[in-house]
Homo-oligomer: A and B are copies of this chain.
Amino acid sequence: MASESPPGPEQRLAALARLPHFAGLERGLVERVAACTRPRTLRAGEAVFQAGEACEGFFVVLAGAVKLYRLSPEGREQVVHRVGPGRSFAEAALFNIGRYPVHAAAAATPTELLLVEGTSFLALFRGEPRLAQGMVGSLCQRLLTLVGRVEELSLTSAAARLAHHLLRLPARGSGERLAVELAGPKKDLAAELSMTPETLSRLLRRFTERGLLEGRGRRLVLRDPDALTAIAEGAETPPA
């Protein structure tokens, strides 16, 4: 399968340069980061690492997607985060505790990752203050994202959480025809929004019946963003 060949050095370099952490760095420096990386290719469902494992380094997603999750003792999985192309994860494990705090598994086939090897990257980091600058900025960005997630989960009604989430998806089009696409299977979305798949399904139907939404499967069109905003902010869903 020639189409699944591992990414060449050029590809790695380009991916790293686009990463918020390293944006704006001179090429030579990015090359030195690239020298710390190893590619890894996975199929959907394959584990990247297990919670508790010693940290080898952090990862950059080149293609596909990775989900980070916890496993409750009964086996129910709670998705903490979903990481798409051009994003990285597990920096905190590297810089802080030395162990991965959650499970990570590929959520698409194929998923191409870059492992930024911990030991050599840390050595590089210590000698290059400019690396720090970008890392701090992008970790802060991550923090803000998580704060957003906390807010989302704090919304008490499931309808509000869903509306909030839909509005934050990257959208195409404008006005009353915002086309969005769900990132993964609906059961994952349900877990992410802390509700059951059944509830998600019913809510989507209700939104559709009221003309707020249109479409089937993962491709949706938001017909009435204002109404969705109102729902996200806690307004009661009108009885009609």
Residues of A in contact with B (beta carbons under 8 Å apart):
70, 72-74, 76, 78, 80-81, 91-92, 95-97, 101-102, 126, 129, 132-133, 135-137, 139-144, 146-147, 149-151, 153-154, 156, 194, 233-234
Closest A-B pairs by Cβ, 3 of them: A132-B132, A129-B129, A92-B140
Q: Known contacts being A96-B144, A136-B135, is A151 close to B80, with CB within 8 Å?
A: yes
In the complex, what distance in Å separates the CA atom of A137 from the CA atom of B97?
Answer: 9
Contact A146 B150 (CB under 8 A): yes
Q: How many copies of this chain does the complex contain?
A: 2
A150 lies within 8 A of B151 (CB): no
A141 to B153 alpha-carbon distance, docked (Å) = 21
**Shortest distance between the CB of A187 and any CB in chain B (Å):** 15
Bound-state CA distance A7–B101 (Å) is 38
Partner of A144, one of B97, B136, B137: B97
Distance of A146 Cα from B91 Cα, bound (Å): 14
Chain B residues in 8 Å Cβ range of A129: 129, 132
How far, in angstroms, from A76 to B143 measured CA to CA in the complex?
23
Q: Which residues of B contact A96 (CB under 8 A)?
A: 137, 140-141, 144
B91 contacts A140, CB within 8 Å? yes
Cα of A96 to Cα of B74 in the assembled complex, Å? 39
Q: Given contacts A149-B150, A194-B154, is CB(A92)–CB(B144) below 8 Å?
A: yes
- A133's contact among B102, B132, B147, by CB below 8 Å, is which? B132
Shortest A236–chain B CB gap in Å is: 11
In the bound complex, residues from chain B placing their C-beta under 8 Å from that of A140 are: 91-92, 95-96, 139
